[in-house]
């Protein structure tokens, strides 16, 4: 009985934490900065978004039931065509980190060596922020094959979004009814802020694609007998994820916890994930050596120090500042051949900042400010304007209103879903996604924050929101009276968990 109670508590805690995060996000979500919108505009946007979501989910569901080929064709067109139109209508240029992706990838695609680029100073701060090197290497391969231009990079990200959406549909359909799969895919595809952002030369489309691929491979690991091949593929995907953005450890922990809680045969779970965890740990331990073998230049094996240092900046709200940049460059230039020393020094400075805030009673206010910056839905608009696309600035009021209203609607659907999961005793159905949402949010609040850093949450928001709509529909249609086996437990050994 005690074991069952502890299992039930372990299932409820992430759900309650997610509810708190959802409400906090809704309260702290920054509204548009370019004037207040009229009540009629907001009402029209709300009605329009809800109508589009309902009609598109209904239409795409019927289309899938009629002919699957047409469904995939229509979904692909919904993703690719508007992005191509946007790219042509709103021409942009690579800026900030995007600029270095473009420059480095272009040089490498032209058969310049990494050593040459390092010696000429072209890599700039990339040897420290190795995700820049890693994404640029992927991008250089694309440029080498399809043409060395910024437009090719934009189209590559659009195709990654297409592949990620198709894969998301497959993943969700393996766990949930068709309506949930269609709904989550369309919510993700239509997300306004991410739509704008995915047309730029950012790393997030590749990260999202690999994230959804990891979910698919997790399903295969869970639904088959312990298999070295599936575990190996999952480990390699997580390693790839971590090379693009160091969040793979959050995903791996969520996978392991979910499997141990929902699968009674713990020995099988141990067999499934031993190879995954060991390979991942070996990669983390040897990341610096691997980087040297690949790039033949001195690189950092971690950026956690910089991220904690910037994230602990009370004056900037956990975001980049000129003063922090000067501190970084001094430490980095003094330790170019051993960047780990610079990272350790920055980490210590970041910890001291947090300690000072805690002793002065300012830590809570700082976390609230960081949560506000982290939750911002203006990142798609901001980065388009910053990338030399002033045309959309003239329409900023309506664009920012659409982004914020869409986010509020999805937050509301997620609150509904979690409440229904608690009331209907179906936490297990969405447990993995609530765990991922909580993990992403907590880890982000410890380091540097920007609105674009909450992009990984979009997958969980989409799935949980669609699941909530489906459950509400079943309740209103009177289809929830007969208790059925929770869908999330397909492939597990027991039909339900005591809560």
pLDDT range class, residue 182, cuts 50, 70, 90? very high
The pLDDT, as a whole number, for residue 482 is 53
The pLDDT, as a whole number, for residue 491 is 39
Q: How many CB atoms lie within 10 A of CB 112?
A: 15
The pLDDT, as a whole number, for residue 310 is 94
What is the C-alpha separation between 455 and 449, in angstroms, rounded? Answer: 12
Give the residue carrying structure tokens 């250089």. Answer: 140
With b meaning 16 or more CB within 10 Å and e meaning fewer, what string describes 236-261? bbbbbbbbbbbbbbbbbebbbbbbeb
Give the residue carrying structure tokens 């329409």. Answer: 395
Mean model confidence pLDDT for the chain: 89
The pLDDT, as a whole number, for residue 32 is 56
In this predicted structure, the answer to whether residue 6 has a pLDDT above a threshold of 80 is no
Domain map (residue ranges) of the chain: 2-489
- From 150, 275, 265, select the one nearest 217 (Cα to Cα): 275
For residues 480 and 471, is the Cβ–Cβ distance under 8 A?
yes
The pLDDT, as a whole number, for residue 477 is 83
Candidate from 42-56, 112-126, 334-348, 474-488 with smallest mean pLDDT: 474-488
The tokens of 469 are what?
Answer: 């709509």
* 177-197: average pLDDT: 96
In this predicted structure, the answer to whether residue 167 has a pLDDT above a threshold of 70 is yes
The pLDDT, as a whole number, for residue 307 is 94
The pLDDT, as a whole number, for residue 157 is 96
What is the C-alpha separation between 260 and 256, in angstroms, rounded? Answer: 6
The tokens of 239 are what?
Answer: 């390693």
User: What's 31's DSSP letter?
Assistant: P
The pLDDT, as a whole number, for residue 159 is 97
- Going from the C-alpha of 62 to that of each of 57, 65, 66, the distances in angstroms are 9, 5, 6
* 343-354: average pLDDT: 93
pLDDT tens for residues 401-443? 999 999 999 999 999 999 999 998 899 999 999 999 999 999 9
What is the C-alpha separation between 36 and 48, in angstroms, rounded? Answer: 19
Sign for the pseudo-dihedral over CA of 163, 165, 170, 174: positive
What is the C-alpha separation between 40 and 398, in angstroms, rounded? Answer: 12
Q: How many CB atoms lie within 10 A of CB 431?
A: 25
pLDDT range class, residue 369, cuts 50, 70, 90? very high
For residues 166 and 179, is the Cβ–Cβ distance under 8 A?
no
What is the C-alpha separation between 499 and 248, in angstroms, rounded? Answer: 29
In this predicted structure, the answer to whether residue 9 has a pLDDT above a threshold of 90 is no
For residues 497 and 11, is the Cβ–Cβ distance under 8 A?
yes
Sign for the pseudo-dihedral over CA of 451, 291, 209, 487: negative
Q: How many CB atoms lie within 10 A of CB 218?
A: 25
* 35-43: average pLDDT: 75
Q: How many CB atoms lie within 10 A of CB 208?
A: 28
Contacts for 22 with CB less than 8 Å, ≥ 6 apart: 411, 414, 415, 418
In this predicted structure, the answer to whether residue 119 has a pLDDT above a threshold of 60 is yes
* 246-266: average pLDDT: 88
Higher-confidence residue of 286 and 70: namely 70
The pLDDT, as a whole number, for residue 4 is 59
* 13-32: average pLDDT: 87
In this predicted structure, the answer to whether residue 261 has a pLDDT above a threshold of 80 is yes
pLDDT range class, residue 60, cuts 50, 70, 90? very high
In this predicted structure, the answer to whether residue 178 has a pLDDT above a threshold of 80 is yes
In this predicted structure, the answer to whether residue 292 has a pLDDT above a threshold of 90 is no
- From 5, 3, 493, 445, select the one nearest 269 (Cα to Cα): 493
pLDDT tens for residues 309-345? 999 999 999 998 999 999 999 998 888 788 888 899 9
The rounded percent of the chain whose pLDDT value lies above 70 is 93
Sign for the pseudo-dihedral over CA of 134, 136, 142, 144: negative
Give the residue carrying structure tokens 């991942």. Answer: 280
The pLDDT, as a whole number, for residue 228 is 87
* 344-365: average pLDDT: 93
Residues in the chain: 499
pLDDT tens for residues 216-253? 999 999 888 778 899 999 999 999 999 999 899 999 99
- From 221, 171, 266, 189, select the one nearest 487 (Cα to Cα): 171
User: What's 191's DSSP letter?
Assistant: -
pLDDT tens for residues 86-100? 999 999 999 989 999
- From 300, 301, 320, select the one nearest 310 (Cα to Cα): 320
In this predicted structure, the answer to whether residue 485 has a pLDDT above a threshold of 50 is no
What is the C-alpha separation between 322 and 205, in angstroms, rounded? Answer: 28
Candidate from 30-39, 88-97, 219-228, 383-392 with smallest mean pLDDT: 30-39
Q: Give the predicted TM-score (pTM) of the model.
A: 0.92
The pLDDT, as a whole number, for residue 39 is 85
In this predicted structure, the answer to whether residue 126 has a pLDDT above a threshold of 70 is yes
Sign for the pseudo-dihedral over CA of 31, 34, 36, 37: negative
The tokens of 241 are what?
Answer: 């994820």
């Amino acid at each position: 009985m005690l074991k069952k109670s502890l299992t039930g508590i372990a299932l409820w805690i992430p759900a309650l934490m997610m509810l708190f995060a959802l409400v906090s996000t809704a309260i702290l979500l920054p509204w548009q900065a370019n004037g207040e919108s009229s009540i009629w505009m907001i009402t029209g946007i709300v009605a329009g978004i809800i109508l589009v979501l309902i009609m598109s989910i209904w239409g795409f569901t019927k289309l899938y039931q009629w002919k699957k080929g047409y469904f995939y064709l229509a979904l692909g067109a919904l993703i690719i065509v508007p992005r191509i139109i946007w790219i042509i209508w709103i021409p942009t240029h690579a800026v900030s980190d995007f600029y270095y992706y473009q420059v480095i990838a272009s040089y490498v695609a032209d058969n310049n060596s990494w050593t040459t680029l390092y010696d000429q100073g072209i890599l700039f701060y990339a040897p420290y922020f190795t995700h820049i090197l890693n994404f640029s290497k992927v991008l250089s391969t694309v440029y080498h094959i399809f043409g060395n231009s910024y437009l090719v990079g934009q189209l590559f990200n659009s195709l990654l979004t297409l592949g990620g959406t198709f894969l998301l549909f497959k993943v969700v359909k393996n766990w949930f009814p068709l309506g949930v799969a269609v709904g989550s895919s369309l919510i993700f595809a239509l997300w306004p802020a991410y739509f704008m952002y995915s047309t730029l030369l950012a790393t997030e489309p590749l990260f999202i694609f690999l994230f959804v691929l990891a979910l698919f491979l997790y399903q295969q690991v869970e639904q088959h007998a312990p298999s070295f091949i599936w575990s190996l593929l999952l480990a390699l995907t997580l390693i790839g994820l971590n090379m693009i953005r160091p969040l793979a450890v959050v995903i791996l922990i969520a996978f392991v916890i979910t499997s141990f809680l929902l699968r009674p045969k713990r020995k099988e779970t141990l067999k499934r994930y031993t190879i995954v965890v060991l390979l991942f740990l070996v990669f983390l331990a040897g990341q610096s050596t691997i980087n040297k073998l690949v790039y033949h230049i001195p690189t950092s094996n971690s950026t956690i120090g910089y991220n904690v240092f910037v994230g602990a900046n009370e004056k900037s709200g956990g975001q980049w500042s000129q003063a922090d940049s000067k501190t970084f460059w001094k430490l980095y230039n003094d330790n170019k051949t051993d960047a780990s020393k610079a990272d350790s020094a920055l980490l210590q400075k970041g910890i001291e900042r947090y300690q000072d805030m805690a002793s002065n009673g300012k830590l809570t206010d700082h976390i609230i400010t960081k949560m506000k910056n982290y939750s911002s839905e203006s990142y798609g608009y901001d980065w388009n304007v910053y990338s030399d696309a002033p045309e959309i600035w003239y329409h900023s009021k309506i664009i920012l209103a659409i982004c914020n209203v869409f986010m509020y609607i999805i937050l509301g659907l997620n609150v509904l879903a979690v409440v229904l999961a608690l009331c209907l005793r179906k936490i297990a159905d969405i447990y993995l996604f609530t765990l991922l949402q909580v993990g992403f949010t907590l880890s982000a609040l410890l380091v540097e924050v920007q609105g674009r850093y909450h992009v990984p949450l979009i997958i969980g928001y989409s799935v949980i929101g669609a699941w909530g709509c489906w459950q509400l529909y079943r309740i209103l249609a009177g289809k929830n009276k007969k208790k059925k086996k929770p869908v999330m437990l397909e492939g597990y050994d027991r039909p339900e968990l005591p809560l």
